[in-house]
Amino acid sequence: MSSHLLSISDLSYADIIYLLDTASDLKEKRARGKTFDILKNKTLAMLFEKSSTRTRLSFEVAMTDLGGHAIYLNYKDMQLGRGESVADTARVMSRYVHAIMARVYKHETLVELSENGTVPVINGLSDLEHPCQLLADLLTIREYKGKFKGLNFVWIGDGNNVCNSAMLACALTGMKMTAACPQGYEPNAEILAKARALGGTINIINDPMKAAKKADILSTDVWVSMGDEEEYDQRLHDFAPYQINSKLLEQAKHDVMVLHCLPAHRGEEITAEVVDGPNSAVFDQAENRLHVQKALLLKLLS
Ligand code: CP
Ligand code: NVA
């Protein structure tokens, strides 16, 4: 396994299975109240250029649960916010902490951190990818479906960072993926090509009803990602037919599981009856961020 996690494709299929097995084991031990000090005296720096609820909390709790420590850093409060370079910041942070998790606007910032620092760098979401989210999604899918191979993973809506990581994750695990996106909002072409080169069967179409047919998994995300706020009105208009609602759910298999990385906007990309309904796995999915990230931290830090 690579010493950084910038893309879900930094992991092989074997790495993914190893992380999911470790995560399941840690999840079961946490439920029994077992505590650890494996990461005693290890510190994770968590650098944020954007808001977060799940990523921040789950990483901080993960470090606490493993006996280590996490420091939350808002870039605006750092010299980074006053013009210090990313490279120098990485060099300095590497003298203090054992790993850096960063949520950034430009994926390039993560690459710069990883190239100039000497500690593992974890992508906590960039404009291109959200690999930790997909690790949690994979754990949740395995818990509900017991397998990956041959499942129909259907993405509805924006071909964004989470969708990009989903294409790679599907390619790595043998799920067939169909993404229904409005014209002009398709996923990143280079990442699509990479997913196909990894052996992925990935269809990008514009028709959500057609995409949802025989879905084992229906997944979506917000229509307006962080950084896209200026396009709010245009996006709400363009994405209106791409809502996961009960009509769309009827197209899918009866036991379809519904995923959403959250935060959800009920009435926009998903209706309340679906996200709060019997097919929804979104809160298990959110919980699983904690368990997969613990597995990841153990792998990168111990
Ligand atoms: N899904 C996710 O990454 O949530 P946060 O933005 O709350 O971290
Ligand atoms: N695509 C969303 C995910 C939030 C967790 C965003 O980038 O804002």
The finding on whether 252 has its CB within 6 A of some atom of ligand 2 is no
271 is in an annotated binding site: no
- The pLDDT value recorded for residue 1 is 82
Cα 257 to ligand 2 centroid, rounded to whole Å: 20
- The first and second tokens of residue 258, run together, are 């519904």
Output the residue whose Cα is nearest ligand 2's atom 6: 225
Q: Where are the domains of the chain?
A: 8-130+289-301, 133-285
55 is in an annotated binding site: yes
- The pLDDT value recorded for residue 32 is 97
Ligand 1, closest atom to CA 103? 8
The finding on whether 168 has its CB within 6 A of some atom of ligand 2 is no
CATH of 133-285, one of 3.30.1490.70, 3.40.190.10, 3.30.70.940, 3.40.50.1370: 3.40.50.1370
Low pLDDT (below 70) residues in the chain: none
98 is in an annotated binding site: no
| Ligand (nearest to CA of 128) | 2
In the sheet where 217-220 sits, what is the strand order? 202-205, 176-180, 152-156, 217-220, 257-260
Torsion angle defined by CA atoms of residues 246, 134, 103 and 63, in that order, rounded to the nearest 10 degrees? 120
At the topology level of CATH, where does 8-130+289-301 sit? Rossmann fold (3.40.50)
Ligand 1, closest atom to CA 55? 8
The values of phi and psi at residue 127, to 5°, are -65, -20
CA distances to 25, 117, 276 from 220, in Å? 28, 34, 14
Max CA pair span of the chain: 55
The finding on whether 161 has its CB within 6 A of some atom of ligand 2 is yes
The finding on whether 162 has its CB within 6 A of some atom of ligand 2 is yes
CA angle 260, 262, 266 (to 5 degrees): 85
Q: How far apart are CA 264 and CA 275, in angstroms?
A: 8
**133-285 matches 8-130+289-301 in CATH topology:** yes
The tens digit of pLDDT for each residue in 210-267 reads 999 999 999 999 999 999 999 999 999 999 999 999 999 999 999 999 999 999 999 9
Cα 236 to ligand 2 centroid, rounded to whole Å: 16
Alpha-carbon torsion (205, 207, 211, 214), positive or negative: negative
Ligand 1, closest atom to CA 130? 3
- The pLDDT value recorded for residue 189 is 98
- The first and second tokens of residue 237, run together, are 């208009």
CA angle 58, 146, 206 (to 5 degrees): 80
Active site residues: 103, 130, 133, 221, 261, 289
Nearest Cα neighbor of 135 from 9, 256, 219 is 9
Can you tell me whether residue 45 is helix, strand or coil? strand
